[in-house]
């Protein structure tokens, strides 16, 4: 019925908690499937691929935080505890669907096949870094893997994802865009503008919110009133689902269904994955100042990787010997790649001025030439670039 | 050739851009059926369909965010911000996103196709929120191009070039002369170069530099000055970023004097950047201090806008002061 025709004659307010969305869960922590739960269609090969990416992400995060603590790396940002969400969503997509993530979704990149060398080249900003040493560690991107380069400002990727998906719809290529963001970023204006535009313009985009409880130190209880992020989509006239973000099967199934709505019906969808950021916000953060260990332990007991492992064991698709071997291999790979990446040459001085425009304008070329003249005069002060001033 | 006003020239440029490339998409507030509040997008939805010319919800940051994504996908979005005064909610999407898209990804991704059109400037009784000239805020942002046309012929050629330029372009349209500025415009497809100033009139005593609607005031002031025997060289900067310092410097080396004018406030205005560069390049050629004739350092007024604006009389006085220094 038309909005103008729905009339009442008593002053009835709709309560702020009128819409409470439940959490869709499939797996229990012991790896058993909850009776009656709807499970995704996953074969052994894909299940093992997902598990591999989750374990790789955990190993990478542990090793690189240690490297940061040793002073080898300026900065790092872990995704510990959220691997089921970040890998599970990617596993539900077509590999050519666009991903526009926030910064804690290395699991999705790992699933798509970003190599350990590619991770390391970005982290160390060496001559092989696609980003040419311009962004802080963890700002990955891959054109080949349809993974948009990460941008630090929060929520900017959300309206961009709506626009990207609109282009996909016009191209008629049956692909969608998935944008990922935290529950804190969902407070930004860009989030609201994006959801409204996507709903009005009917674009094939999936808004995936990782509700991990914290925006740096601010708990979600101080981020929003009401029933979290999922009901907001309904306000914009969009379908919405809340899912257990530590349950890889639930994440995967919810995303498979969301993708169908997006691609087959040009319907935007919101998925809110409930999880917990077990690690600090980043290597620059110390959570002991704002939360207690008991809370962390409660969530550590819900480890999403362990939950999936238990399920794999129950399927007879996995065993402890293979687990041990996988961990050893991955740790070796990460360490070896880190050593190589660290030894690689640094970026070219010329790349100070490239990619600002398609071609450097005259003024930028002049500025580079004066800089080179200055470095030639004081080479000792600029050890990174002094050697390369006169040869690319 | 056809006689067109500035709005018709812009509409014609959009029409040609959409006809020649089906990736060109026009959108913004009221841009669809209505054709925009100034009618710059008239009939485009009728001709090219709702998918390629449409209304958006009222959310500038959403419009430019959406445009950035669309451009990254390979489309050629031409987004309209209804008034330049309302571009600020989109500042982050322009300054932190569009301008840095290619740089931060090492050229893996770009928003090459993006053009943002927006009407700017005063003189229409628009008060503080329908009159501003915010070009200087954006001129401080590497990665953007900024273009301001002065008449219909320029508007069509510069807009077509902006849409096809492989960089994000901010295209400021002088709304005061949208209908008042009328001229002969080639009906065919043509482009005018970005980043190049144009010398409109050669002269010997002083260089007068401006852009957009302010060119009209500059030309009037030059006529007054000529009557007093002062020979003025008149230059339209056309592009604020990157700007054509070579043409301006060559002119100042000849005339020895420079006057720059814009409607925006003096402090932090783009005239300051030009003055700094030109004194550096032409120090020994200068016969008088570089003169800036601009709006006051206040919000844009309503009732007193005539007093606020740098009109031809203020320019004429400044020309005489500079010549008699």
Whether residue B135 sits in one domain with residue B167: yes
Within a domain: B193? no
pLDDT at B284 over 90: yes
Whether residue B51 sits in one domain with residue B139: yes
The lowest-confidence range among A115-129, A375-389, B293-307 is A375-389
Q: Does A194 touch chain B (CB under 8 A)?
A: yes
* Residue numbers in B near A134 (CB within 8 A): 103-104, 106
Residue of B nearest to A351 (CA): B106
Q: Does B256 touch chain A (CB under 8 A)?
A: no
Structure confidence by residue, pLDDT tens digits, A297-328: 999 999 999 999 999 999 999 999 999 999 99
Whether residue B238 sits in one domain with residue B152: no
The predicted structure's pLDDT at residue A391: 61
- The CATH number that applies at residue B136 is 3.40.50.970
Residues 6+ apart with CB under 8 A from A94: A175, A259
Whether residue B57 sits in one domain with residue B204: no
Number of structural domains (chain B) is 2
Residue B258: both structure tokens together: 């420079």
Q: Does B143 touch chain A (CB under 8 A)?
A: yes
Domain end point (choices B124, B152, B185): B185
**Closest by Cα among A277, A279, A284, A353 to A136:** A284
Within a domain: B71? yes
Whether residue B250 sits in one domain with residue B162: no
Q: What does the pLDDT average to over B109-137?
A: 98
Within a domain: B190? no
Structure confidence by residue, pLDDT tens digits, A159-212: 999 999 999 999 999 999 999 999 999 999 999 999 999 999 999 999 999 999
The rounded distance, in Å, linking the Cα atoms of B110 and B98 is 8
pLDDT at A385 over 80: yes
- The CATH number that applies at residue B231 is 3.40.50.920
Residues 6+ apart with CB under 8 A from B92: A153, A156, A190, B61
Within a domain: B105? yes
Residue A371: both structure tokens together: 């800089």
Domain end point (choices B134, B157, B185): B185
Q: Active-site residue among B60, B80, B216, B219?
A: B60
Whether residue B232 sits in one domain with residue B160: no
| List of domains in chain A | 19-343 (3.40.50.970), 349-386 (no CATH)
pLDDT at A238 over 50: yes
User: Looking at the partner chain, which of A200, A357, A362 has a beta carbon nearest the beta carbon of B143?
Assistant: A357
* Residue numbers in A near B71 (CB within 8 A): 163
CA distances from B22 to A203, B19, B75, B117 (A): 19, 7, 9, 19
Whether residue B202 sits in one domain with residue B138: no
pLDDT at A392 over 80: no
What's the whole-number average pLDDT of chain A? Answer: 97
Strands B232-236, B198-201: parallel, antiparallel or unpaired by DSSP? antiparallel
The rounded distance, in Å, linking the Cα atoms of A22 and B59 is 31
CA distances from B177 to A91, B13, B85, B122, B209 (A): 55, 17, 17, 10, 19
Q: How far B110 CA lies from chain A's nearest CA (Å)?
A: 9
* Residue numbers in B near A163 (CB within 8 A): 65-73, 77
* Residue numbers in B near A351 (CB within 8 A): 106
The predicted structure's pLDDT at residue A389: 86
User: Looking at the partner chain, which of B25, B62, B108 has a beta carbon nearest the beta carbon of A130?
Assistant: B108
Whether residue B165 sits in one domain with residue B18: yes
Q: Does A360 touch chain B (CB under 8 A)?
A: no
Within a domain: B191? no
Whether residue B166 sits in one domain with residue B117: yes
pLDDT confidence bin for B8, thresholds 50/70/90: very high
Whether residue B295 sits in one domain with residue B174: no
Within a domain: B192? no
Whether residue B138 sits in one domain with residue B256: no
Domain end point (choices B185, B208, B232): B185
Cβ separation B65–A356 shorter than 8 A: no
Q: Which pTM does this prediction carry?
A: 0.97
Q: Does B245 touch chain A (CB under 8 A)?
A: yes
Residue B229: give the domain boundaries: 198-323
Q: Establish whether B60 is a catalytic residue.
A: yes
Q: Does A247 touch chain B (CB under 8 A)?
A: no
Whether residue B11 sits in one domain with residue B149: yes
């Amino acid at each position: 019925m038309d909005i103008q025709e729905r009339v009442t004659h008593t002053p009835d307010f709709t309560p702020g908690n009128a819409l409470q969305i439940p959490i869709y869960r499939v797996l229990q922590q012991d790896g058993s499937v909850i009776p009656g739960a709807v499970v995704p269609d996953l074969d052994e090969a894909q299940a093992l691929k997902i598990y591999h990416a989750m374990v790789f992400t955990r190993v990478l995060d542990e090793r690189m935080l240690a490297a940061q603590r040793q002073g080898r790396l300026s900065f790092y940002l872990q995704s510990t505890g959220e691997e089921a969400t970040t890998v599970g969503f990617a596993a539900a997509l077509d590999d050519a669907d666009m991903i526009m993530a926030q910064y804690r979704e290395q699991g999705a990149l790992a699933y798509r096949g970003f190599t350990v060398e590619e991770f390391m080249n970005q982290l160390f900003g060496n001559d092989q870094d696609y980003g040419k040493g311009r962004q802080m560690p963890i700002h990955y991107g891959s054109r080949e893997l349809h993974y948009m380069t990460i941008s630090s400002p929060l929520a900017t990727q959300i309206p961009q994802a709506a626009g990207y998906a609109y282009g996909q719809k016009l191209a008629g290529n049956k692909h969608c865009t998935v944008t990922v963001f935290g529950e804190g970023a969902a407070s930004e204006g860009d989030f609201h503008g994006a959801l409204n535009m996507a709903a009005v313009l009917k674009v094939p985009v999936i808004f995936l919110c990782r509700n991990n409880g914290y925006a740096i130190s601010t708990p979600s209880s101080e981020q929003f009133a009401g029933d979290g992020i999922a009901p907001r989509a309904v306000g914009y006239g969009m379908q919405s689902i809340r899912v257990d973000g530590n349950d890889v099967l639930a994440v995967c199934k919810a995303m498979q269904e969301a993708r169908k709505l997006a691609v087959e019906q040009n319907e935007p969808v919101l998925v809110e994955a409930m999880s917990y950021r077990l690690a600090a916000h980043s290597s620059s953060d110390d959570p002991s100042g704002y939360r207690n260990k008991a809370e962390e332990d409660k969530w550590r007991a819900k480890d999403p990787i362990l939950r999936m492992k238990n399920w794999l064991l129950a399927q007879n698709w996995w065993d402890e010997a293979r687990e041990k071997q996988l961990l050893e291999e991955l740790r070796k790979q990460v360490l070896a790649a880190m050593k190589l990446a660290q030894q690689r040459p640094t970026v070219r001085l010329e790349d100070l001025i490239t990619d600002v425009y398609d071609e450097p304008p005259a003024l930028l070329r002049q500025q580079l030439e004066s800089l080179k003249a200055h470095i030639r005069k004081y080479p000792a002060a600029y050890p990174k670039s002094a050697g390369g001033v006169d040869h690319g | 050739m056809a006689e067109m006003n500035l709005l018709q020239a812009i509409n014609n440029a959009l029409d040609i851009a959409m006809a020649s490339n089906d990736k060109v998409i026009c959108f913004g507030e009221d841009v669809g059926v209505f054709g925009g509040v100034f009618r710059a997008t008239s009939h485009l939805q009728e001709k090219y369909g709702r998918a390629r010319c449409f209304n958006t919800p009222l959310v500038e940051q959403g419009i430019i965010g959406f445009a950035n994504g669309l451009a990254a996908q390979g489309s050629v979005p031409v987004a309209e911000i209804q008034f330049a005064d309302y571009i600020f909610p989109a500042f982050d999407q322009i300054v932190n996103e569009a301008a840095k898209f290619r740089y931060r990804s090492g050229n893996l991704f770009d928003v090459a196709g993006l053009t943002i059109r927006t009407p700017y400037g005063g003189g229409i009784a628009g008060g503080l929120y329908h009159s501003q000239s915010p070009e200087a805020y954006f001129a401080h942002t590497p990665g953007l191009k900024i273009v301001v046309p002065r008449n219909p012929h320029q508007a069509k050629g510069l807009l077509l070039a902006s849409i096809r330029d492989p960089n994000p372009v901010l295209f400021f349209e002088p709304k005061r002369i949208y209908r008042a500025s009328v001229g002969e415009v080639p009906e065919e497809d043509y482009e005018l170069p970005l980043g190049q100033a144009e010398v409109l009139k050669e002269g010997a005593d002083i260089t007068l530099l401006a852009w957009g609607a302010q060119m009209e005031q500059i030309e009037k002031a030059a006529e007054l000055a000529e009557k007093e025997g002062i020979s003025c060289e008149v230059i339209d900067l056309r592009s604020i970023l990157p700007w054509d310092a070579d043409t301006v410097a060559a002119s100042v080396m000849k005339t020895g004097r420079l006057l720059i004018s814009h409607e925006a406030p003096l402090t932090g205005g783009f005239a300051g950047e030009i003055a700094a560069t030109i004194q550096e390049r032409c120090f020994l050629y200068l016969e008088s201090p570089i003169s800036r004739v601009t709006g006051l350092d206040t919000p844009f007024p309503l009732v007193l806008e005539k007093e606020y604006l740098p009109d031809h009389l203020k320019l004429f006085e400044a020309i005489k002061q500079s010549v008699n220094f």
